[in-house]
Amino acid sequence: MVSAGDAALRRRVQHQIIGGRKNMAKEEIFDKLKELVVDQLGVEEDEVTMEASMQDDLGADSLDLVDLVMSVEEEFGVKVADEDLENIKTVGDIVNYIEDRA
């Protein structure tokens, strides 16, 4: 027989496994996003800061941003609405967006 405590523990573990990114700290989000940006845009790690402009500092064009958003959606399990994409200008904007929705 499963106790109420065991059932609650099982639900928490399942939630952590299924929603694995839910409890990520901002630093973890930034580190993983940095990997994606470096891989996709071919920039150096030290160029990727919270303040870095995706277009001006990192040289991303609109197609790069679409590809990056698709990777972000897959990696972090968030959906980025088209209208929200217009407000994302910096790496920090993406980190905050993920943190608010993950």
Residue 51, both tokens:
């303040």
61 is catalytic: yes
Backbone angles phi, psi at 88, to 5 degrees: -95, 110
Which among 6, 56, 61, 84 is annotated as catalytic? 61
Backbone angles phi, psi at 100, to 5 degrees: -70, -25
Buried b (16+ CB within 10 A) or exposed e, 10-43: eeeeeeeeeeebeebeeeebbebbbebbbebbeb
- Which of the residues are catalytic? 61
